[in-house]
Amino acid sequence: MSQERLFTVLLSVFGTLALFIACIGIYGTAIYLVRRRTPEIGIRISLGANQLDVVRLVTRETLAPVAIGIAAGIVASVELAKLVVGILFGVSQTDAWSIVGAASLLLLTAACTAAIPARIASRIEPLRALRYE
């Protein structure tokens, strides 16, 4: 069983590393979106958009590609599970709890990562944003 434990530990470490790299990518993309659209967000705020509207805008635009990726990943995982059925112990190849748990973890992580740029965007001062470029 030591070989299986080592394999499990390695998969856990690499999975955590992949989640961390995904967080960095989501954060980078979201902050780029905010920086690129600073004048537009400033105009929205000057025309009466409140902070919650700006947070919703940035969060929605950040999480939409993540949701599409999760949906594609679920489809791919169900299809590719047929290849690894021999190494699964105590879990069926289409275990709904595992798939939903992984998708929920990714979506929650993406939402937490997107919250920082959304908060930055909601605090943009309209006059400073108009002089941004």
Predicted TM-score of the model (pTM): 0.75
Spatial neighbors of 15 by CB under 8 A, at least 6 apart, are none
Instruction: Tell the residue number behind the tokens 């995982």, with chain if given.
Output: 77
- pLDDT surpassing 90 at residue 67: yes
Contact 42, 125 (CB under 8 A): yes
Q: How far apart, in Å, are the Cα atoms of 3 and each of 45, 83, 85? A: 58, 20, 18
Q: Where are the domains of the chain?
A: 2-127
- Taking residues 13-35, what's their average pLDDT? 89
Q: 3-state class of 33 per DSSP?
A: helix
pLDDT tens digits along 84-115: 777 766 667 777 887 888 889 889 988 988 88
